[in-house]
Amino acid sequence: MSDLQATPPTPATPAVAPGAAALLKAPILREHHRKLNGTSIRRISRHMRSIRLVLQTMLFLAIIYTVTIGKPLLIPLLLAGFIGLGLNPIVSFGARLGVPRWLSACVVMLALGGAVGGGTSMLAPAALNWFHQAPEAMRQLAPKIKPMTQQLEAASRATQNLVGGNPRAGQPAPVAVFSSWDVITGAPKVMASVLTVALLVFFFLIYGDELLRRAVEVSPTFAQKRHTVSIVRSIQSEVSRYLLTTMAINAGLGLITAAMLYGYGVPDPLLWGAVAMLFNFVPYVGAITTTVVLCLVGLLHFNDAGTAMLPALSFAAITAIEGNVITPLIQGRRMRLSPVAILLWLLVWGWLWGIPGALLAVPMLTSAKLVAGRLRGWEWFAMMVGR
């Protein structure tokens, strides 16, 4: 036999087919791809949220800018729209009786114009009288409020000393002086605005239903048409009811205020009743402003401080009863708004549009709440501003 010993054969590694290797690696690759896809999806989702936030912010700023520069156009449109919604039930009632809408609209507009014109002509002499007597009235009022102003000036000087400022005594603040010429030069602009609003209200009353029919015709399906009609009709009736009840409540408040002032012997009670009625369209702020005005009027008319405060205190009690008992009882819970939402809304629209924005803020907020409550996806807004 040979010296060479046969070496035991080494076990051969089994050959793996390419397809089998791919099958073995497939679960690992799928898990790896799944992790990569999950990471990519999360990254893309974060990027999309960031882009959406930026776009929403830009849209919000664009809306604010548009609303600000469109103030001369939007204020007459909104005012006419609200007046038209408030008067539309009267015109619709006449149409159900067979009276043409244009005839009912003419009668309503003539009655409204006569009421506003008659009230203005009746109150204008008293308002101009107070306007011309304002400097003399302030001189008469100064000795009565001198103790209070002295305390305020002392507090102001102490505050300026604390912050290191130099109080400037004896330098009266500049006072804006208005003359009759300012009123005359501004009259054409005011008359043009009034005429624009009146024409818009007139055409809204005549063609309001036609605009609704055309909006329904645009809807593609019958279900959407029916849904559109239901939403528009309900919002129209509820906003009209809100506006009419608010006007009636404010008119009643003005009459009660005028009667109270007449009982106290305050001059021109109808003028201050009209002021209370108009200011009450601005919740909280309007009542506080009217109370301050009546306090000044009382100080001008009465020599005794206790008697001078009676008109303002009586008006504060009347507005407290009206705001907490009468208005919630008549309008119901559906029309009630959160005080925080009202104040924020007044702040925003007063900043954007001034006094007209403050007067239109609450009707706009109420309408927005009613609309949001009937639109899918916007119920949260109605809940946030509700009470």
Share of residues in the chain with pLDDT > 70 (%): 75
Looking at per-residue pLDDT, the higher value among 277 and 219 belongs to 277
> In sequence order, which residues have a C-beta less than 8 Å from that of residue 372 and are 6 or more positions away?
378, 379, 381, 382
In angstroms, the CA 327 to CA 247 distance is: 11
Count the Cβ atoms, other than its own, within 10 Å of residue 21: 10
| Phi, psi torsion values for 337, nearest 5 degrees | -125, 155
If you count them, how many residues does the chain have? 387
146-198: pLDDT as tens digits: 655 555 566 566 556 655 555 444 444 444 444 555 556 666 777 888 888 88
How buried is 349 (Cβ within 10 angstroms: 0-12 exposed, 13-18 middle, 19+ buried)?
buried
CA dist 256 to 247, 267, 310, 319, Å? Answer: 14, 15, 15, 10
Looking at per-residue pLDDT, the higher value among 168 and 125 belongs to 125
- Considering the chain, what is the average pLDDT of its residues? 77
In angstroms, the CA 31 to CA 124 distance is: 84
In angstroms, the CA 77 to CA 328 distance is: 29
CA dist 201 to 81, 91, 106, 325, Å? Answer: 7, 12, 11, 32
pLDDT of residue 298: 86
229-257: pLDDT as tens digits: 777 777 777 778 888 888 889 999 999 99
Q: Looking at the predicted structure, is the pLDDT value of residue 290 above 70?
A: yes
Dig out the tokens for 326 from the structure: 């009468």
Q: Do 82 and 175 touch, CB atoms closer than 8 A? A: no
In angstroms, the CA 48 to CA 59 distance is: 16
Per DSSP, the residues of 170-205 read T-PPP-----HHHHHHHHHHHHHHHHHHHHHHHHHH
In angstroms, the CA 82 to CA 317 distance is: 30
Please state the pTM of the whole predicted model: 0.70
pLDDT of residue 32: 56
